[in-house]
Amino acid sequence: MTHHDRVRQRLHAIEAQLREHQHWQDNAPEAHVFESTQPFFMDTMEPLEWLQWVLLPRMHQLIDAQQPLPQNFAVAPYYEMALDASHPFRVIIMPELEQLDALFAGDDA
């Protein structure tokens, strides 16, 4: 399995968790929401929206185009802060995000 395949597998796992736990939205946010210049679009999107509408599609686009993927890129630290410790989805999504980060760090374990 190639590195791109492993990343795509993690992306699908994240999407599956979002869908299974009713955090998947059927309708895209308005266009202006995507014009944010803030990291993780903090000023225009909720953290889980960013996963669905920004991270997942952009990573799939890079993989589809056989482009290099980010290195030393991590999303889990943001979600450790953005999702309150009592958020019920936190314990579900954090392991998925940590596994994705491990791939970007070059650690496929």
Residue 62: CA atoms inside 13 Å, Cβ hemisphere, count?
16
Categorize the per-residue pLDDT at 70 as very low, low, confident or very high, splitting at 50, 70 and 90.
confident
pLDDT classification of 107: cutoffs 50, 70, 90: low
Instruction: Output the pTM of the full model.
Output: 0.91
Name the pLDDT band for 72 (thresholds 50, 70, 90).
confident
Cβ atoms 78, 45 nearer than 8 A = no
Mind listing the domains of the chain with CATH numbers? 3-104 (1.20.1440.40)
Q: How far apart are CA 65 and CA 97, in angstroms?
A: 23
Nearest C-alpha neighbor of 79 from the set 12, 5, 17: 17
